């Protein structure tokens, strides 16, 4: 960290909150800090005031130094994320669902998802940054991947690896639901 920058408390806050099984709403109520502010802090889009750090530290039962990065936050030996705490996204038509399995601190570098697509569903994506790649492993059913102007059909057990620096799509052209693991690697 550059000594001219304020400390980034996002990762420490997210780790402490998760290790205690607290939702953003739970911590918001305990600390008296809005959910939107907590979310911005965790994504390093905002730096909290000393008063906010003090409230968060008290709500989490830790010293302020743990949030400010002057004390190492010990990661739990095993961190369990309950199913209800796994965030997800659903397409507007409801046919595609993504469960975000990766930790927030890796977003933009390495992301992984559980993907469920109902018959006729299409997950259309715009280009990611140059050099980005996706790895799609079909668990059940079958899916079609279109990238770089080519289409490949995958059945359960198969994996496709492809560049995503252009528009790309994952489609379920069958009459059965399909599930897959989707990993996105950013350069």
- Tens digits of pLDDT across the chain (187 residues): 455 666 668 888 888 888 888 888 888 898 899 988 888 888 888 888 888 888 888 888 888 877 777 645 566 788 888 888 888 889 989 999 999 898 877 777 889 999 999 999 999 999 999 999 999 999 999 999 999 999 999 999 999 999 999 999 999 999 999 999 999 998 8
Does the domain spanning 86-185 belong to CATH 2.60.120.10? yes
CA-nearest of 159, 162, 89 to 127 is 162
Going from the C-alpha of 148 to that of each of 18, 70, 124, 144, the distances in angstroms are 39, 47, 13, 13
Taken in order 39, 42, 45, 49, the sign of the CA dihedral is positive
Question: What CATH architecture applies to the domain 10-68?
Answer: Orthogonal Bundle (1.10)
pLDDT at 39: 87
On whether the pTM is more than 0.85, the answer is: no
Decide the pairing of beta strands 133-140 and 159-163: antiparallel
pLDDT at 117: 98
Please list the residue range(s) of the chain that carry CATH number 2.60.120.10: 86-185
d(CA 40, CA 46): 5
Decide the pairing of beta strands 150-155 and 178-185: unpaired
pLDDT at 183: 96
pLDDT at 1: 47
Residues in the chain, how many?
187
- Nearest-Å Rg of the Cα atoms of the chain is 20
- Hey, how many other C-beta atoms are within 10 angstroms of the C-beta on 34? 12
Please list the residue range(s) of the chain that carry CATH number 1.10.260.40: 10-68
């Amino acid at each position: 960290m550059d000594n001219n920058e304020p400390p980034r408390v996002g990762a420490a806050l997210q780790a402490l909150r998760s290790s205690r099984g607290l939702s953003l709403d739970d911590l918001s109520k305990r600390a008296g800090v809005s959910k939107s502010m907590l979310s911005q802090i965790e994504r390093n889009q905002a730096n909290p005031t000393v008063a906010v750090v003090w409230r968060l530290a008290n709500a989490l039962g830790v010293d302020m130094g743990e949030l400010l990065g002057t004390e190492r936050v010990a990661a739990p030996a095993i961190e369990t994320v309950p199913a209800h705490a796994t965030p997800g996204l659903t397409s507007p038509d409801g046919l595609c669902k993504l469960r975000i399995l990766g930790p927030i601190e890796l977003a933009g570098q390495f992301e992984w998802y559980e993907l469920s697509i109902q018959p006729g569903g299409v997950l259309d994506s715009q280009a990611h940054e140059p050099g980005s790649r996706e790895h799609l492993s079909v668990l059940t059913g079958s899916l079609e991947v279109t990238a770089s102007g080519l289409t490949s059909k995958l059945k359960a057990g198969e994996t496709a690896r492809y560049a995503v620096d252009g528009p790309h799509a994952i489609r379920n052209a069958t009459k059965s639901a399909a599930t897959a693991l989707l990993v996105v690697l950013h350069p």
